[in-house]
Amino acid sequence: MLSDPLRPLTEDEISDFHRDGAVLLKRVIGREWVDLLREGLEAAFAKRDVLSEDLGSLRVDQFPAEKTPELRRILMESPIAALVGQTLGSSVRFYMDQLFYKPAGQLPPTPWHQDTCYYNLEGQDLIRAWASPDPVPREASLEVVRGSHRWNVTYAPLAGRDPEKDKAAQAEISKAAPDKPMLGLEAYEDWSYFSGVRDTRLPSVPEIEKARDSFDLVGWDYNPGDVILFHAHILHGAGARPDSPHPRRAYASLWAGDDVRYLHRAGQIIPDPRALYGHSPQTGQPLTDFPDVFPTIWSPGSHSPDGGS
């Protein structure tokens, strides 16, 4: 059974999300969930698998809740689904999750990027929920380009093999079938961020860090118990910190509203959820066609808007 947030969302928080593409929700999940999140992230970090990858000192895991019951409880029982659903004003389905683990000491930056291009998804009702058991100061926390979720552009991913430099990659993307994913179920046996092919036909991410004053950037000091919601289309990154006394452990879950559809991307980087492959989804199919893979986790009216648990 889902728990409700510690407090109701305000109209300003909901409107800020839709206007800016991101919002910090302060003090919305209780200590018990923060403690469970810490336990789950540490348990997932200890269970390296084929979907774990080191990018310098940053460890990233895809679908960590599949191997960690604590994180599965976060998805299915914590207030996060309710926060997403109340912000969208629609039913929400869980799509996938990721672990981001930066060890104590020098926290590396996360380059500016957009999430949409990494997945076989399209639609407007796509929200990331970002939470951490660690305090994260503004300079090392998530930041976004305000309003960039409304720019109506999909940028090229930063990962993947470059078909302009790799003949094998060029051949793969030129033969991409419109009815098959670029990454098959075999990705769960042998995967990395460079298993796929980068679609260089898409525009490159703007060089935001070189011209920060030219963009309207939003960021926050983050404290455990807060949740950051941001639109999957928004440009975002994270800063560096040279002397963090503790790791920066982050959990990012991706949630879909009613308008989200499947899309075969020529430059797919992240595999589809494992259970989806058996359905052979086609471009344009709504995720509602696959209720066994993407069940409704929260719907309007299913919980009290008054907060509490």
- At 222-248, the pLDDT tens digits run 999 999 999 999 999 998 888 888 899
- Can you give the pLDDT at residue 282? 96
Left, alpha or beta for 14 (phi > 0: left; psi -120 to 50: alpha)?
alpha
- Can you give the pLDDT at residue 303? 53
Q: Global pTM? A: 0.94
Least confident of 176-185, 229-238, 252-261: 176-185
Domain residue extents for the chain: 11-290
Helices (H) and strands (E) in the chain, counts: 5, 16
CB neighbour class for 169 (10 Å; exposed up to 12, middle 13-18, buried from 19): buried
User: Angle at the Cα of 126 (from 122 to 131), degrees rounded to 5?
Assistant: 140
**Separation of alpha carbons 115 and 113, rounded Å:** 7
Q: How does pLDDT run across 44-92, given as a tens digit for each residue?
A: 999 999 999 999 999 999 999 999 999 999 999 999 999 999 999 999 9
- Can you give the pLDDT at residue 301? 81
What are the structure tokens assigned to 59, written together? 């460890």
For the domain with range 11-290, which CATH number is right: 3.40.50.1820, 3.30.460.10, 2.60.120.620, 1.10.1740.10?
2.60.120.620
